[in-house]
Homo-oligomer: A and B are copies of this chain.
Amino acid sequence: MAIKGVLRPGFIQIRVLDMGEALVHYLDRIGLHQVSREADGRVYLKGWDEFDHHSIILREADSPGVDLMAFRVMDDAALTEFEMRVKDWGLSVEQVPAGEQPGVGRRIGFEIPSGHRIELYAEIARAEHHPPIVNPDVWHDLPHGMGATRFDHALLYGPHVDQVMHFFVEALDFSLAEQVMMPDGLLAIWLSCGNKAHDIAFVKHPEPGKLHHISFFLESWHDVGRAADIIARYNISLDIGPTRHGITRGQTIYFFDPSGNRNEVFAGGYTYYPDNPTRTWNEQELGKAIFYYEKALNERFLGVVT
């Protein structure tokens, strides 16, 4: 395969304050499917267009936020190789045995300089309700709610964004698709492990380990509009949108889950290749970078993280 190493964002584990409210939000509104609820109370979800067992894990806790984000790598040999490269880069690596999450093989975990736990794994069971394979229809059941196709990426807030960039590029072979460069240095980075403009992104922030948003992919700007209607109809707390990002060109809307975790659903964006120049934004157009139409950041966007 021409794509090697890290394949994609695999799953993310999110803390929610009330599982019942969270499930109404993620299942009925965003349109995910529930895969299983395990004995420890964690609930596993997936988008209708994902083959893997799950991509979102909800864990009930006293505070919202992100526990970990995990990437799927090509195979176990790649996992072993990345383990060495992560250690060589200088991070401590923790082993997570197979089965800690249902259907998932052994994982390695480590804390990156921004204070987030990142994991890698090579094995995951195919979901029972996977997209059809033989004479496949476009979908088996008409997508419901916002029709989220998949967990797409996360934007994380924390310190040492420059080190994080070097780590992902040097140890995990990501590319730097876009960056915001301020007079005092790198403010934000968008990193890609494939043809998507971003698989994970970081913004510089004094407090480590914070979650800005998790993002789900929709098929069109039309679906972004329908998501906005759903947000309004069900009084979901809106952050901003529908709008477009200058960065990645994504057509987007931001809102909050009942626990205060920010969600994004988005469509569009360009096809990225690793030989593309890193698109660079500076302070003159920072507003346009984030919200292409409004050309200004709202305070929530910079300040509210979980």
Residue numbers of A with Cβ under 8 A of B are 1-8, 49, 51, 72, 74, 131, 133-139, 142, 145, 150, 172-175, 192-196, 217, 219-222, 225, 228-233, 238, 241-244, 246, 249, 251, 253, 268, 270-271, 273-282, 284-285, 288-289, 292-295
Contact = CB atoms under 8 A, between A and B. Distances in A.
A271 B61 CA distance: 33
Query: How many copies of the polypeptide does the oligomer hold?
Result: 4
Contact of A242 (B145, B242, B281): B242
A246 B136 contact: yes
Which 4 A-B pairs rank lowest in CB-CB distance, beginning with the nearest? A1-B274, A195-B195, A135-B285, A2-B193
Contacts of A284: 135
B232 A273 contact: no
A3 B273 contact: yes
Nearest to A289: B135
A274 B133 contact: no
A4 B133 CA distance: 27
21 contacts: A1-B174, A3-B274, A7-B273, A72-B275, A74-B274, A133-B279, A135-B282, A138-B232, A138-B246, A139-B233, A194-B194, A194-B273, A220-B220, A220-B221, A220-B268, A229-B244, A231-B293, A232-B244, A232-B295, A241-B293, A253-B293
A142 B282 contact: no
A231 B138 CA distance: 11
Nearest to A275: B7
Given A233-B138, A288-B135, A3 B195 contact: yes
A282 B229 contact: no
Contacts of A131: 270
A192 B276 CA distance: 19
A142 B273 CA distance: 23
Contacts of A173: 1-2
A293 B193 contact: no
Contacts of A150: 271
Given A2-B173, A135-B288, 16 more contacts: A2-B6, A2-B7, A3-B4, A51-B276, A74-B274, A135-B289, A136-B279, A137-B246, A138-B244, A138-B249, A142-B145, A195-B195, A220-B221, A228-B243, A232-B293, A238-B294
A293 B228 contact: yes
